[in-house]
Chains A and B, each alone.
Chain A
């Protein structure tokens, strides 16, 4: 158990809908990273937050957004969903150590 939690574990929704994925980092970790894992794109970095502030953006679509709250949990919002958004979404956190610790992921299926 990495100490990073994600909910829900599975999500099935229809095209055009909006969903919210939730992540709680390890106790004491200020950084949260979101990654998308798909068969065609592999593991791609989406966005990073540090202590409530956006730190970096990667290959994140404009339909996607995220935020980190004062209690340091983070939410990834995906809107106007398309079939191609079906993927595993991971969050990770780290503190003073170099490695990132990953949550179990949320498997999103868009039908």
Chain B
């Protein structure tokens, strides 16, 4: 069974500083990996995905993620954080068997201070 882990419950950064949210995964086979963001009282918004190809994938709102097969990681990054990036971030992995369900990490709360 596939799973992801987000080792940090919270990440705090100052506006303008780089932001990194960590994710490691465990799958049998090729991983299909995703990042979602959830703002208060809102649904999950898709940020980016890694399916195949370049290890650095770019997504919405200036976010990017680096896939590292040897370290089984898929860390989310943003070079310069904004206060508006404060939200709950989820890493997810897709089951590539018949059902394609997503398994989510526990989430990381990002707080960007002005």
Cα A99 to Cα B44 with chains together (Å): 12
For window 78-100 of A, CB contacts with B under 8 Å fall at 90, 92, 94, 98-100
Count B-side interface residues using an 8 Å CB cutoff. Answer: 22
Contact (Cβ within 8 A) A98 B51: yes
Beyond A2-B45, A99-B34, A105-B43, whether A31 also contacts B100 by CB under 8 A is yes
> Chain A 1-24 against B: per-residue CB contact (8 Å), 1 yes, 0 no?
010100000000000000000000
Count A-side interface residues using an 8 Å CB cutoff. Answer: 23
Tell me how far the C-beta of A62 lies from the nearest C-beta in chain B, rounded to whole angstroms: 19
Tell me how far the C-beta of A10 lies from the nearest C-beta in chain B, rounded to whole angstroms: 10
Interface residues of A (CB under 8 A from B): 2, 4, 31, 33, 35, 42-43, 45, 48, 55-56, 58, 90, 92, 94, 98-105
Selected A-B contacts with CB under 8 Å, 7 pairs: A90-B43, A98-B34, A98-B51, A99-B49, A100-B102, A102-B43, A102-B45
